[in-house]
Amino acid sequence: MAVVRSLVLWFPDWPVTALAREAGASAPQGEPGEEREQPIAVLDKGIVVACSALARAEGVRRGQRRRDAQAHCPRLKVVASDPDRDQRAFAPVVTRIEQIAPGVQVIRPGLCALRARGPARYYGGEAAAAGVILEALAEQGFAEVRVGVADGPFTAEQAARAPGRAAVRVVPPGEAEAFLAPLPVSALEEPDLAHLLGRLGVQTLGGFAALDPERVRERFGERGLRLRALASGADSRPVTPRTPPVELHREVAFEPPLELAEQVAFGMRIAAEQFIAGIGAQGLVCTELRVELTGERGERSERVWLHPGSFDGAAVVDRVRWQLAEDAQSEVLRSGVVSARISPEAVDAASHHRPAIFGSGPEEKVHHALSRVQAMLGHRGVVTPAIGGGRWLAERQVLVPWGDRAAPTAERARPWPGSLPAPLPATVYPEPRPVEVVAETGVTVEVDERGALTAPPARFTEGGRRRAIVSWAGPWPLNEREWDAVRRRRAFRFQIVDDRDAWLLICEGGRWSAEARYD
């Protein structure tokens, strides 16, 4: 396969750039981001994968361990690597490049390639095409982009990474091997191969390319032969343009900013219908919705909403209104709304949500009725009970708004020392009912410091009614937050049976209460 002229754009230290842009977008307007004033290093598994210019000026380098990097720069801010963040920040950059030169292949966030022939013919040369792209990116705030043009993506990438102040480096056709020859074998990004070649005395790509192909095949296999071809400038890999994703999101800007939730909801009606129609045109339905709201002062409110079935236009508008209402209570948005964006977080095939042949079943009717009631009463107007995690029974009773996820199974299955095992009581009191437990002598029963009863319980009084205790079991200690002097709790559980019912009692600080009843 013939070598194709390729144009590669390299964004140095992209993880740091992505972090700064995301932090700058969420910071209040007019306030500089902290990432621009402090040395930053992005780490993956304890190794520096990117660092800011300030960090490099103090000796931080890629490949350093965290301890070494902090030894060079004690005030270094360490941030964990986040591939999703890098991809989110790079997506609009790729979209801007495609507006100038379509056919972009994303190699990884911060590095992309495209065929050089089309842009070069349109803009009057390879260097001119690179200049047009750089100018467009500079308008977006990217001033440190480097461009390499050469035979094949590998050589073009090495040209973009070449040291020097030139933003564009063009390797003429047929000169790839000579350009690559002095570069170290580490440019192949194959540490094991570079180590073996170093032991053989081969330190440069030119030395690797000079090896006999048959000997390379015998020692390194087909993979080594392919890497030797890269080292010799014979990179026959094609540039495979990405297929731009369908734009399913909708965004509405409000000028002037809107203060009332109802005004914002009214302004989102058309966008919500277009959003649902656009998803439906792809044979999909939206089952999880992301709503992003931006305030006039730069505040951001972002939340993912769920639906028991699939969203329609009215349900989308309801979620926007509910989010605004909750943000107003928590003061997340303290100024007028300047923009609202809705996007699908999860979709499903529309065929899975079509009515049955003989009409909707009882479950669909219940869902339709509850959704209408929820639309009138608000997000928490309709709730369903679910079992959550916790030591106290009242904590395990969770009321989930209709359509939201219940507590995850992992949360319920976590170790909860002191929690009550099954079978659980059927009636749990929201607030424990005070009771009195006495011995045969009429003296109140207590639990001493060792967790032992001062006397066997004989009777207890609940709601003014005295009950004889037929049998009992306990105590079972329940200790919570022993390290916190303010919120620590120490109590003891008892199971007690009278002549008619079974009870779950709590003795805490010498006071008795009924936590639940076994029906």
Q: What is the pLDDT of residues 336-385, one digit of tens each?
A: 999 999 999 888 888 776 665 545 555 666 666 777 777 677 777 778 77
Average pLDDT of the residues of the chain: 85
pLDDT at 333: 85
Express each pLDDT in 238-277 by its tens digit: 888 777 667 788 999 998 999 888 899 999 999 999 999 9
Residue 15 has pLDDT above 50, yes or no: yes
Position with higher pLDDT, 415 vs 162: 162
SS3 50: strand
- Check if the beta carbon of residue 340 is closer than 8 Å to that of residue 268: yes
Rounded Cα distance, 359 and 349, in Å: 19
Residue 194 has pLDDT above 90, yes or no: no
Which DSSP helix (H) or strand (E) runs through 96?
Answer: helix 83-100
Q: Which two tokens stand for residue 26?
A: 């969420």
Residue 71 has pLDDT above 80, yes or no: yes
Outline where DSSP puts E strands in 13-94: 40-44, 47-51, 77-80
Q: Please, which pLDDT band fits residue 31 given cuts at 50, 70 and 90?
A: very low
Residue 221 has pLDDT above 70, yes or no: yes
SS3 362: helix
Q: Which of 322, 320, 326, 315 is nearest to 340 (CA)?
A: 320
* Angle formed at CA 237 by CA 232 and CA 243, multiple of 5 degrees: 155
Count of C-beta atoms within a 10 Å radius of residue 355:
9
Work out the average pLDDT over 296-311. 85
Sequence letter at residue 9: L
165 Cβ contact list (under 8 Å, min separation 6): none
Q: Which of 24, 29, 3, 51 is nearest to 296 (CA)?
A: 29
66 Cβ contact list (under 8 Å, min separation 6): 41, 43, 46, 47, 48, 78
Q: Please, which pLDDT band fits residue 119 given cuts at 50, 70 and 90?
A: very high
Count of CA atoms in the C-beta half-sphere (13 A) of 495: 10
pTM of the predicted structure, to 2 decimals = 0.54
How far are the Cα atoms of 46, 330, 406, 408, 415 from residue 412, in angstroms, in the given order? 32, 27, 10, 7, 8
Residue 26 has pLDDT above 60, yes or no: no
pLDDT at 181: 92
